[in-house]
């Protein structure tokens, strides 16, 4: 396997795992702090914006590279 392909796969797999781990942390934080539905929604909205930024960055870079 080409090292570049391996690095690309591992970036997406490991970043995906990190995102899932952060979602678990936010859920646990909301549960322990008794944030309620609205507070939990706000916490996940903030996390979702970070994930959305990562996805948009990936799409823009791929578009600029012509893939």
Structure-block tokens of residue 44:
């996940």
Distance separating alpha carbons of residues 18 and 39, to the nearest angstrom: 22
The tens digit of pLDDT for each residue in 5-61 reads: 898 888 889 988 988 998 999 899 999 999 899 999 998 998 888 888 888 998 999
Distance separating alpha carbons of residues 34 and 29, to the nearest angstrom: 8
Give the domain ranges of the chain: 3-65
Provide DSSP, 52-65: HHHHHHHHHHHHHH
Please choose, from the candidates 30, 48, 47, the residue with its C-alpha nearest in 3D space to the C-alpha of residue 39: 30
This prediction has a pTM of 0.68
């Amino acid at each position: 396997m080409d090292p570049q392909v391996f690095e690309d796969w591992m970036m997406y797999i490991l970043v995906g795992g990190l995102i899932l781990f952060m979602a678990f942390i936010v859920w646990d934080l909301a549960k322990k702090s008794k944030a309620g539905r609205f507070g939990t929604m706000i916490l996940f909205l903030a996390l979702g914006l970070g994930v959305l930024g990562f996805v948009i960055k990936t799409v823009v870079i791929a578009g600029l590279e012509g893939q």
